[in-house]
Amino acid sequence: MATSSISYCFSVAFVFLFALDTLSFQVMTASGHVANDTDQIQFALNLEFLEAEFFLHGTLGKGLDDISPNLAQGGPPPAGARKANLDILVAPIIEEFAYQEVGHIRAIVQRVGGFPRPLLNLSRQNFAKLFDEAVGFALIPQFDPYANSINYLLASYLIPYVGLTGYVGTLPNLTAPASRGLVASLLGVEAGQDAVIRTLLYERGNQTVLPYSLTVAEFTNRISELRNKLGKSGNKDEGIRVPITLGAENKTTSNVLSADVNSLSYARTPPEILRIVYGTGNESLHGGFYPQGANGKIARTCVTGWLEEARLGGEDIGYSFRRDLKLISEVQAPFRGIRRFFYLAFSAAAGISTFFTVPRLFRAISGGDDAPDLWETAGNVAINIGGLIVLVALFLWENKKEEEQLTQISRDENLSRLPLRLSTNRIVELVQLRDTVRPVILAGKKETVSLSIQQAARFRTELLRRGVLLVPVIWDEVRAPQIEKKGFGAPSKAAAALPSIGEEFEKRTQSITAKSKLKAEIRFKAEVVSPSEWERWIRDQQKSEGVTPGEDVYIILRLDGRVRRSGKGMPDWQQIVKELPPIEALLSKLER
């Protein structure tokens, strides 16, 4: 009896282990490229602090430090905020908004944690500067947001709207339902606040904002234009009165709500928002409402991105890639440890069971009255021993798989460090071309490789559209090793201005300019620096794929810098053109 239940145990165990394998696949896809909800939601806290302080001070003459000091987490008090001179209609509305913002901050902090309030510049001078920029000349006297209800509403026009577009942008990128729920609820109220402010302004649309000659509607249009200009991503912001081509269904000039051609809310990304609220049009250049920059991981990455990376150079870029690779290993086999544990546990069970069944088998063989049934006992022994063998084999196999995986990761790491010389003589490590090109390594004898490059030239345009960068490596080419080393020593400086890799977010925010600069330097073909290292790497890769080292091969890398596939001989370019999607298509798909 005991033994048959053990056999039953085996089948259950196998089903279980199989389920773990299936599960691990799902974990991998779910976290394919992890956009961390916490960081994204916390980013919004920056705007919530701004709104809370501006509204609290505007109506109550005091801020978060008086209302709910623990929420500020010791951040510096806002500069220049004052009580505004509001009428009896506007004052209670703004007061309500103010308390709503306090609630928002609390909700975010409770759900995902927070950070200290960043320094906020709510001074009259700061608003004045912004308004001057919006209208395109210096308003005289200086614009004072705290002077009256109209001015205050115009100043407020900026804030919930930017928050709202930020939430619209964030929501689709969140993974956890709880995060989505939170952001949806925040979005609902921000949208409402924006609508109320816009309606109040719309009602006064034809009034001139004294003592200036511009109407309220004109001010909103100018402010929206400025925000579009700073955001650098086209028209995502519209005043309360628009040309009919921007109105709802091209049928209205009133524009109480700002929305796109299908009347859907515009979405903004964190860098766009930072460009606007910093007033600099540059997410890494703080200023405006945030003299010391916004807080939290996302904003900090933008601010420090350029400078730190410039200092740390390629080593840092490489580091985050290498950290990614380690994560990949865990993501690909998250249940390996558990599986190994069960293999061991079940082997032990099978061992013990065998230990007890074998004496029974002897008794069965020797016969006698109380002897157990021979065939049943023999069957149980066979199941136990068979199971034991299978489990031990699985255990060993699992270890081997892990070993192979780690070697591959180390090989990927080594690949990412290999240096290249671009057409402009700039030297970069392969990792720095990540997300920009798909290198195709052509390794072989000189004649073969040059022939293949000639053939590729015929598909040049098509290949370039697919981001292909040819990297010829000639076997055993004699070069002075000293020169190689010199070239290799230089890259940390070259690395400076290049986009970082790593987090999804960094990837996008880091510098479209640097990327386009880099792109301009990429001319279809790059020269390897330190060919002996390249050769060593290719030979290792060949060994791992069971190809005789030194044979002619081509290796196509993916945009993320890992091996896509490889083949013997030289590639069929026509086939490659078919196989790889054009880069623009790929990026626009990601964008959406």
Ligand X SMILES: *[C@@H]1O[C@H](CO)[C@@H](O)[C@H](O)[C@H]1NC(C)=O
> CB-wise, 39 or 65, nearer to ligand X?
39
Interacting span for ligand X (CB under 6 A) from 35-43, 57-65, 314-322, 553-561: 35-43
The answer to whether the CB of 122 falls within 8 A of the CB of 53 is yes
Interacting span for ligand X (CB under 6 A) from 168-176, 359-367, 547-555, 574-582: 168-176
Taking CB under 6 A as the criterion, the residue among 540, 545, 552, 572 binding ligand X is 540
The answer to whether the CB of 141 falls within 8 A of the CB of 3 is no
Phi and psi at residue 234, in whole multiples of 5°?
A: 80, -165
Taking CB under 6 A as the criterion, the residue among 142, 185, 304, 407 binding ligand X is 407
Give residues 408-427 in contact with ligand X (rule: CB under 6 A).
Answer: 410-411, 414
* Residue 139 in the binding site for ligand X (CB under 6 A): no
Q: For 487-528, give the DSSP string.
A: HHHTHHHHHTTSPP-SSHHHHHHS-HHHHHHHHHH--SB-EE
* Residue 123 in the binding site for ligand X (CB under 6 A): yes
Minimal distance in Å, beta carbon 129 to ligand X?
Answer: 5
Q: Which helix (H) or strand (E) holds 589?
A: helix 583-591
Give residues 288-347 in contact with ligand X (rule: CB under 6 A).
Answer: 291, 297, 306
Taking CB under 6 A as the criterion, the residue among 19, 30, 396, 590 binding ligand X is 590
- Cβ neighbors of 508 (< 8 A, separation 6 or more) are 269, 271
Taking CB under 6 A as the criterion, the residue among 17, 28, 285, 496 binding ligand X is 285
- Residue keyed to tokens 């880099």: 518
* Residue 549 in the binding site for ligand X (CB under 6 A): no
- Residue keyed to tokens 């801020």: 63
Q: What tokens were used for 289?
A: 């409402």
Taking CB under 6 A as the criterion, the residue among 57, 104, 117, 129 binding ligand X is 129
* Residue 265 in the binding site for ligand X (CB under 6 A): no
Binding mask 180-219 for ligand X (x = CB under 6 A): -------------------------xx-------------
* Residue 229 in the binding site for ligand X (CB under 6 A): no
> CB-wise, 368 or 589, nearer to ligand X?
589
State how far the Cα of 407 lies from the Cα of 401, in Å rounded to an integer: 10
Taking CB under 6 A as the criterion, the residue among 249, 369, 370, 447 binding ligand X is 249
State how far the Cα of 41 lies from the Cα of 96, in Å rounded to an integer: 23
Interacting span for ligand X (CB under 6 A) from 46-54, 245-253, 358-366, 580-588: 245-253
> CB-wise, 205 or 491, nearer to ligand X?
205
> CB-wise, 37 or 53, nearer to ligand X?
37
Minimal distance in Å, beta carbon 4 to ligand X?
Answer: 46
CA dihedral 317, 322, 327, 330 (to 10 degrees): 180
State how far the Cα of 118 lies from the Cα of 436, in Å rounded to an integer: 34
Taking CB under 6 A as the criterion, the residue among 59, 269, 353, 542 binding ligand X is 269
CA angle 145, 151, 152 (to 5 degrees): 65
The answer to whether the CB of 114 falls within 8 A of the CB of 105 is yes
Interacting span for ligand X (CB under 6 A) from 2-10, 51-59, 278-286, 331-339: 278-286
- Cβ neighbors of 122 (< 8 A, separation 6 or more) are 50, 53, 54, 57, 78, 79, 80, 81, 82, 289
> How many helices (H) and strands (E) in the chain?
24, 7
State how far the Cα of 434 lies from the Cα of 8, in Å rounded to an integer: 51
Taking CB under 6 A as the criterion, the residue among 63, 169, 314, 467 binding ligand X is 169
Q: What is the largest CA-CA distance in the chain?
A: 117
* Residue 125 in the binding site for ligand X (CB under 6 A): yes
Bridge partners for 421 per DSSP:
427, 527
Interacting span for ligand X (CB under 6 A) from 7-15, 30-38, 100-108, 474-482: 30-38
Q: For 275-344, give the DSSP string.
A: HHHTTSS-TTS-BTTBTT---SHHHHHHHHHHHHHHHHTHHHHHHHHHHHHHHHHHHH-TTHHHHHHHHH
> CB-wise, 170 or 354, nearer to ligand X?
170
Taking CB under 6 A as the criterion, the residue among 31, 38, 233, 492 binding ligand X is 38
Contact positions toward ligand X, by CB under 6 A? 36-40, 79, 121, 123, 125-126, 129, 169-170, 173, 205-206, 245, 249-250, 261, 269-270, 282, 284-285, 291, 297, 306, 407, 410-411, 414, 508, 513, 540, 590-591
